[in-house]
Chains A and B, each alone.
Chain A
Amino acid sequence: NAGVMQNPRHLVRRRGQEARLRCSPMKGHSHVYWYRQLPEEGLKFMVYLQKENIIDESGMPKERFSAEFPKEGPSILRIQQVVRGDSAAYFCASSPGELTEAFFGQGTRLTVV
């Protein structure tokens, strides 16, 4: 059973470009969470999704950021018109249900130049 898979591991984007981060949860996991980690800081919750539904997006910036978890395929975190402040590590976690252990992926390190 492969763990949570995220790709790409590293992503470099110029200011104004779009970034797409992908997350495939562990097999049998229907709950996906995205977190952002700035250098030397803790993880900040962004969004919680189940298949085809956004359950809680209270941590998502109001503009430029969106997330989806379609019926087929990975969850996608999309950042439009990236700015330098978007540079961070973005981690995805998945769990089989509510209030269960969440497993993290290796993260995508986004650098905006």
Chain B
Amino acid sequence: GENVEQHPSTLSVQEGDSAVIKCTYSDSASNYFPWYKQELGKRPQLIIDIRSNVGEKKDQRIAVTLNKTAKHFSLHITETQPEDSAVYFCAANTGTASKLTFGTGTRLQVTL
């Protein structure tokens, strides 16, 4: 089955700096890669996703890149703000459905 690894497990950046979170996956058949943000005690919320037919996608301060050959994808957050502090999860689908395998999460702390 699919295996998703995520690094780092914790990340502390100063406000205004960039943050990068990296994930690798094992199943070459995976073709949908969403990123979720989860604040303490709340639901995971989709912040951006990418499909295997594109290499990069950007939405304001958030961007995701995908390297299918190397089987890794990354989340980039620029100009970080305190409200970006949360746990971020990457995920990859299995098969044709939206059944997702999640990474173990990255706790991002944005300090003033």
A positions within 8 Å CB-CB of B: 31, 33, 35, 41-45, 48, 55-56, 58, 91, 93, 95, 98-107
Complex contacts, A93 vs chain B, CB 8 Å: 98
Report Cα–Cα, A24/B67, bound state, in Å: 36
User: Using a Cβ cutoff of 8 Å, how many contacts connect chains A and B?
Assistant: 61
> Which residue of B is nearest A92, CB measured?
B43
Question: Does the CB pair B46–A103 fall under 8 Å?
Answer: yes
> Which residue of B is nearest A58, CB measured?
B1
Report Cα–Cα, A42/B87, bound state, in Å: 10
Question: Does the CB pair B99–A33 fall under 8 Å?
Answer: yes
Question: Does the CB pair A99–B42 fall under 8 Å?
Answer: no
Complex contacts, A99 vs chain B, CB 8 Å: 31-32, 93, 96-98
| CB of B31 to closest CB in A, whole Å | 7
Report Cα–Cα, A48/B105, bound state, in Å: 22
- A41-B104, A42-B89, A42-B103 are known contacts. Are A98 and B43 too (CB-CB below 8 A)? no
Question: Does the CB pair A44–B102 fall under 8 Å?
Answer: yes
10 contacts between A and B (CB under 8 A): A45-B99, A45-B100, A91-B43, A93-B98, A99-B96, A99-B97, A101-B34, A101-B46, A104-B45, A106-B43
> Which residue of B is nearest A50, CB measured?
B97
Closest 6 CB pairs of A and B: A42-B102, A104-B43, A43-B102, A102-B98, A98-B97, A42-B104
Report Cα–Cα, A102/B33, bound state, in Å: 12
Complex contacts, B97 vs chain A, CB 8 Å: 31, 48, 55-56, 98-99
Complex contacts, B32 vs chain A, CB 8 Å: 99
Interface positions of B from 42 to 75, Cβ below 8 Å from A: 42-46, 49
Report Cα–Cα, A101/B104, bound state, in Å: 20
Report Cα–Cα, A58/B98, bound state, in Å: 14
Report Cα–Cα, A42/B38, bound state, in Å: 10
Checking A45, A102, A105, A106 against B101 with a beta-carbon cut-off of 8 angstroms, the contacting residue is A45
